[in-house]
Amino acid sequence: LMASHPGLVVELVPMVTRGDVILDTPLAKVGGKGLFVKELEVALLENRADIAVHSMKDVPVEFPQGLGLVTICEREDPRDAFVSNNYDSLDALPAGSIVGTSS
């Protein structure tokens, strides 16, 4: 924003979401929508923030009244990476291997 709008005053407002603090339970078990965005939505609705930026994978399909998705920013390379101490590629994994994923 500042590069495109010289002189713009920007204040970052750090936030911690419910999804960020639940570390002892798999998120699939917690359930519910908006684990990573609810607090951002509330801040926008309460005028504590003018915009919110978040990972698209966590953004719900439906928005509260008064909010919406207004832009999708250009992104870096979206491909995933394979990291292993023992194998050079996914094809080299033995049949039945268990693979952990993260974002």
> Given 20, 50, 58, 77, which residue is catalytic?
58
- Going from the N-terminus, what domains does the chain have, and what CATH number goes with each? 1-76 (3.40.190.10)
Q: Is 91 a catalytic residue?
A: no
CA-based radius of gyration for the chain: 19
How confident is the model over 50-77, as pLDDT tens digits?
A: 999 888 877 888 889 999 888 887 877 7
Q: What is the pTM of this model?
A: 0.65
Token pair for 76? 């870096």
The tens place of each residue's pLDDT in the chain, 103 residues long, gives: 888 899 999 899 999 988 888 888 877 787 767 788 889 999 999 999 999 988 887 788 888 999 988 888 787 777 778 889 999 998 999 999 998 877 6
52 in Cβ contact with 44 (< 8 Å): yes
- b/e code 57-75 from CB counts within 10 Å (16+ = b): eeeeeeeeeeeeeeeeeee
Q: Please give the C-alpha separations between residue 67 and each of 10, 16, 48, 89, in angstroms, as whole numbers.
A: 21, 20, 14, 42
